[in-house]
Amino acid sequence: MNTPAKIIIAPDSFKGTANADQAAQWLAHGVQEVLDCEVVLAPMADGGEGTATRFTGTDVTLPTTDALGRLIEASYRFDEPTATAYIDVAAASGITLIDAPRPLTADTYGTGVLIADAQSRGARTIVLGLGGTATTDGGSGILVALGANLVDAQGHCIPQGGEGLRQLDHIDTAMLNIPAAAVQWVLLSDVDNPATGPQGSAACFGPQKGASAEDVEKLDAGLARLCEITGVDPNTPGLGAAGGVAIGITWLSAMLHGEPQVQILPGAKVIAEAAGLGDMDADLIITGEGRFDQQSTRGKVVGTILDMAGSTPVAIVAGSHDAQADAWQITLGDGDPETQLVDAGRVVAQRFASMFTNQG
């Protein structure tokens, strides 16, 4: 090659192993041990954990509650010039924050606390990263944190969590935090599942949150009841993300604005474009995640990179590969996370270099 190659390194996090920034840096170290090339680091996220950190702004940390109602601290990112807050639902309501899942009662109240705080600081747009939650409550915890009361036919507040939604009769908005509820919403999703049914939130993701088959039926019925009461179409793609958070948000916005001021967007694509990867001007793209499987091609980071790459070759680095792709597939070896990812970067670079050696 007459000019140095340009290699974009755009991995997701390797959950439990390395965050996206670490993965990108360690892969780059391996590449640069082999090649004299231009490396562009573009750590990614898809709407799940780590999404907020992909945007500019100042981190805000405050006390709130986790999905089980226990006091914790959580952070979000606030960009004052654009009056936009970037909040991962997983920051307060994430499954990694709890050691004993309670799928029927876990709720998103703690995320609602972050939303209310962001609006009090001047946020007019809330960007929610949907993914990685311990909840299937339809966003009802957020509604309660913003002052709504979800009540049964006798006028009593229903129990928290997704199971209690089966008792929902109406939503009392007398004490609603109107300024916080009236913001513009952008929901970044890593899945396109509907709210209910065989491909719905409870059926597809409930078991990952500790739900038994019986629990899944209860949670699905709860989400169906919430959709019935709020008039939200349960078949809308993306409503199944984050335990149905978009159901509550869509109703809230529609109630205040007539038409909901809510956008549900593919998180990975939005983040890739924000990182300047729209044209994918590179000789090679390296991406990766902990496990590459069929779900990886449905709105996740790796699938998005493959779709956007065009004719540019792509290398996928993962701890395991349970699906095939039109890409180089590199499986991590043994050792600590840094060693594994540096080694993987080295392997990819050697393969890239051999292309030109063979051509010569």
Q: Where are the domains of the chain?
A: 6-44+279-359, 52-268
- Check: CB of residue 214 under 8 Å from CB of residue 206: no
d(CA 173, CA 66): 24
Does the pLDDT of residue 38 top 60, yes or no? yes
Does the pLDDT of residue 305 top 70, yes or no? yes
Task: Write down the residue that tokens 């270099």 correspond to.
Answer: 353
Indicate whether this model's pTM tops 0.85: yes
Q: What is the pLDDT of residues 137-192, one digit of tens each?
A: 999 999 999 999 999 999 999 999 999 999 999 999 999 999 999 999 999 998 88
Q: How high is the pLDDT of residue 357?
A: 61
Q: How high is the pLDDT of residue 98?
A: 94
Q: How confident is the model at residue 122 (pLDDT cuts 50, 70, 90)?
A: very high
**Which CATH number is 6-44+279-359 given?**
3.40.50.10350
Q: How high is the pLDDT of residue 2?
A: 63
In 3-state terms, what secondary structure has residue 244?
helix
How much is the average pLDDT of 33-62?
92
d(CA 291, CA 77): 28
Highest mean pLDDT among 1-10, 14-23, 79-88, 326-335: 79-88
For the chain, helix, strand, coil in percent to 5 are 40, 20, 40
Q: How confident is the model at residue 360 (pLDDT cuts 50, 70, 90)?
A: very low
d(CA 199, CA 208): 14
Does the pLDDT of residue 249 top 70, yes or no? yes
Does the pLDDT of residue 1 top 60, yes or no? no
The region of weakest confidence among 6-10, 292-296, 315-319, 339-343 is 292-296
Q: What is the pLDDT of residues 67-114, one digit of tens each?
A: 999 999 999 999 999 999 999 999 999 999 999 999 999 999 999 999
Q: How confident is the model at residue 356 (pLDDT cuts 50, 70, 90)?
A: low
% of the chain with per-residue pLDDT over 90: 81
Q: How high is the pLDDT of residue 193?
A: 92
d(CA 351, CA 228): 55
Q: How high is the pLDDT of residue 47?
A: 85
Q: Are strands 125-129 and 84-88 parallel, antiparallel or unpaired?
A: parallel
Q: What is the pLDDT of residues 202-231, one digit of tens each?
A: 999 999 999 999 999 999 999 999 999 999
Does the pLDDT of residue 359 top 60, yes or no? no
Question: Per CATH, which fold does 52-268 belong to?
Answer: Glycerate kinase, domain 2 (3.90.1510)
Q: How high is the pLDDT of residue 281?
A: 84
